């Protein structure tokens, strides 16, 4: 199973609290928040976790999406995604002995 | 026995399985397409503030050093243009469509039958003769034993495998709205469709 980009829609009006709650649920399933919109967040998520997240009481809708690199603001969106991912991903360097499996 | 085997082979519900699978695929495809169309609607209605330009103006700003000489300095003035709402669809987020590209039904039936017949035949005879002073006698006895036993064993094992392959597909052209851009920055206004 691979990671795919999804658009999540909430059941009622999106508030800061519901947005945070959904983002927490996404993070619980090892997903990443790419961008937060007024409808709901755009996330990167393992396909296997979609079903569980779709059952969340606040989630009305979750649909697969992709970024068209020739889109009008594709570069701007990529920059936003990168900026948001940078806040969530911690890159750690392995020590040489770890990389050798010792 | 042969009729039973033939019956078992015929009773494997392959046509029904194919029909059920086709129905399931059709329903699955419809559900996937509905999800993608709903995603398209949401993307078309979700707006974000797009900042198209940031202008950086460089202006000379001479600096007099503590030692006395004046060196060339530069000021950078940053101006952000007006943001305007843009939908995610306009920006370049597209719904992903899927289609079933491959379907495989594999039915395996293994039939084994074993027949064992065992016959036992036993024949025995006893002849007895006795002779006396005045008379003599003789007797003859025999026995026949016949035993037959037949053992039949028959087993049918079946397994089936259904595999479907689903791949992302290009968005149906009619589902995607056309973007008509009217550029009034040039004379005459330029109209492009994408």
Q: Nearest by CB to B92, which of A4, A39, A71? A: A71
Facing B96 at nearest CB: one of A35, A64, A74: A64
**Least reliable range by pLDDT among A26-40, A85-99, B119-133:** A85-99
User: With an 8 Å Cβ cutoff, are A7 and B39 in contact?
Assistant: yes
Q: Which 3 state secondary structure label does DSSP give B135?
A: coil
Dihedral Cα A67, A68, A72, A74, nearest 10 deg: 40
Q: Residue B171's beta-bridge partner residues? A: none
- How confident is the model at residue B70, as a pLDDT? 85
Residue A99 above 60 pLDDT? no
Backbone angles phi, psi at B170, to 5 degrees: -60, 150
Question: Token digits for B89?
Answer: 């669809």
ipTM for the complex shown = 0.79
Both tokens assigned to B75: 């000021």
- The pLDDT, as a whole number, for residue B132 is 67
Length of chain A: 102
Which of B31, B35, B91, B95 is the mutation pick for testing A, counting most A CBs within 10 A?
A: B91
Q: Quote the pLDDT of residue A45.
A: 93
- Residues A39-67 as b or e (16 or more Cβ within 10 Å = b): bbbbbbbeeebbeebeebebbbbbbbbeb
Closest residue to A63, CB basis, from B42, B47, B168: B42
Structure tokens at B46: 């979700």
Q: What is the mean pLDDT of each run of 10 residues along chain B (194 residues)?
A: 57 77 90 91 88 83 86 85 88 91 82 83 81 74 85 81 87 79 87 83
Which residue, B22, B12, B20, is CA-closest to B103?
B22
- Check residues A100 and B101 and name the one with the higher pLDDT: B101
B83 close to B50: Cβ distance less than 8 angstroms: yes
Per-residue confidence at A81, pLDDT binned at 50, 70, 90?
very high
Q: Distance of alpha carbon B177 from its chain centroid, rounded?
A: 30
Q: How far is A99 from chain B (nearest CA, A)?
A: 35
Q: Chain A contact for B87, CB < 8 A?
A: no
Of B48, B50, B95, the CB nearest to A65: B95
Distance from CA of B78 to the nearest CA of A (A): 18
Q: What is the CA radius of gyration of chain B?
A: 47
Instruction: Give the mutation candidate from B34, B88, B175 for the A interface (greatest A CB count, under 10 A).
Output: B88
- CA pseudo-torsion sign A22, A24, A26, A32: positive
Provide the 3-class DSSP secondary structure of residue B182.
strand
User: Do B93 and A70 lie within an 8 Å CB cutoff?
Assistant: no
Please give the full DSSP string across B62-113, using - where no structure is assigned: -EE-TTS-EE--EEEEEEEPPPEEEEHHHHTEEEPEEEEEEEEEEEEEEEEE
| Residues of chain A above pLDDT 70, percent | 91
Q: Answer positive or negative: Cα dihedral of B161, B103, B36, A72.
A: positive
Residue A96, pLDDT score: 66
């Amino acid at each position: 199973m691979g990671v795919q980009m999804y658009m999540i829609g909430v059941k009622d009006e999106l508030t800061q609290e519901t947005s945070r709650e959904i983002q927490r649920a996404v993070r619980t399933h090892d997903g990443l928040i790419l961008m937060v919109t007024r409808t709901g967040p755009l996330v990167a998520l393992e396909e296997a976790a979609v079903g569980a997240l779709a059952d969340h009481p606040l989630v009305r809708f979750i649909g697969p999406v992709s970024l068209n690199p020739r889109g009008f603001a594709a570069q701007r969106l990529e920059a936003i995604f990168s900026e948001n991912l940078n806040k969530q991903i911690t890159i750690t360097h392995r020590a040489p002995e770890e990389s050798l499996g010792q | 026995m042969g009729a039973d085997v033939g019956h078992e082979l015929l009773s494997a519900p392959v046509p029904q399985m194919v029909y059920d699978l086709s129905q399931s695929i059709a329903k699955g495809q419809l559900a996937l397409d509905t999800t993608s169309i709903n995603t398209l609607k949401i993307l078309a209605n979700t707006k974000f503030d797009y900042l198209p330009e940031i202008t950086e103006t460089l202006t000379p700003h001479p600096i007099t050093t503590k030692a006395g000489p004046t060196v060339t300095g530069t000021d950078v003035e940053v101006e952000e243009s007006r943001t305007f709402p843009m939908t995610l669809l306009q920006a370049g987020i597209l719904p992903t469509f899927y289609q079933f590209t491959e379907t495989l039904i594999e039915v395996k039936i293994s039939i084994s039958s074993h027949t064992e017949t065992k016959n036992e035949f036993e024949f025995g005879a006893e002849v007895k003769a006795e002779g006396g002073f005045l008379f003599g006698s003789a007797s003859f006895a025999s026995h026949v034993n016949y035993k037959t036993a037949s053992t039949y064993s028959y087993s049918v094992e079946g397994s089936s495998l259904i595999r479907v392959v689903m791949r992302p597909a290009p968005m149906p052209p009619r589902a995607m709205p056309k973007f008509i851009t009217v550029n009034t920055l040039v004379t005459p206004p330029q109209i492009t469709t994408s």
